[in-house]
């Protein structure tokens, strides 16, 4: 994906009236890249559904739809369900700046967005080197 400013978290927190349309048009955001409102996003299913997980930088993520994704921050403006300020002040979703183009993957519940790793299989604070590699 391209360098830029992104939302990372469960995409269900961003959308309200558009949510069902997004799910229908993306096959329920199955693991991989999707186009939402003309923007490329990467989403996938967590290992065990809903709950809370951490990334390798200690940030926490809440999950209510069994999904984790990285989406351009501009998508917050679609339904205006949450503001950028609300996300910045949240402890369960985050806005990050990706300074360079980056790869995304998910394998057995381990997400990688550039150098960010989110392990939804394990609630421990650490992710061992090589986990999530295909």
Section 72-81 average pLDDT: 97
Whole-number CA gyration radius for the chain: 14
- 129 pLDDT above the threshold of 50: no
What letter would DSSP give residue 37? T
pLDDT at position 128 is 43
Cβ 105 vs Cβ 111: under 8 Å: yes
Of the pLDDT bands very low, low, confident and very high (cuts 50, 70, 90), residue 109 is: very high
- 49 pLDDT above the threshold of 60: yes
Between CA 86 and CA 55 the distance in angstroms is 20
Between CA 113 and CA 119 the distance in angstroms is 12
For the chain, report the end-to-end CA distance as a whole number of angstroms.
Answer: 19
Section 84-103 average pLDDT: 96
pLDDT at position 123 is 55
Section 41-52 average pLDDT: 93
Between CA 124 and CA 56 the distance in angstroms is 10
Between CA 15 and CA 71 the distance in angstroms is 12
Between CA 13 and CA 43 the distance in angstroms is 13
Between CA 84 and CA 104 the distance in angstroms is 23
Section 96-113 average pLDDT: 97
Percentage of the residues of the chain whose pLDDT score is greater than 90: 87
In this structure, is the dihedral angle defined by the CA atoms of residues 115, 117, 94 and 4, taken in order, positive or negative?
positive
Q: Could you tell me the pTM of the whole model?
A: 0.89
Section 94-115 average pLDDT: 97
């Amino acid at each position: 994906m391209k360098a830029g400013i992104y939302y990372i978290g469960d995409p269900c927190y961003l959308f309200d009236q558009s949510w069902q349309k997004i799910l229908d048009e993306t096959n329920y955001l199955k693991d991989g890249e999707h186009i939402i409102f003309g923007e490329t996003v990467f989403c996938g299913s967590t290992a065990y559904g809903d709950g809370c997980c951490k990334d390798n930088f200690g940030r926490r993520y809440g999950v209510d739809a069994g999904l984790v994704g990285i989406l351009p921050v501009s998508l917050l403006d679609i339904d205006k369900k949450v503001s950028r300020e609300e996300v910045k002040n949240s402890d369960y979703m985050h806005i990050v700046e990706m300074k360079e183009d980056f790869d995304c993957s998910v394998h057995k519940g381990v997400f990688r967005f550039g150098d960010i790793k989110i392990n939804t299989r394990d609630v421990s604070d650490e992710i061992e080197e090589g986990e999530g590699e295909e």
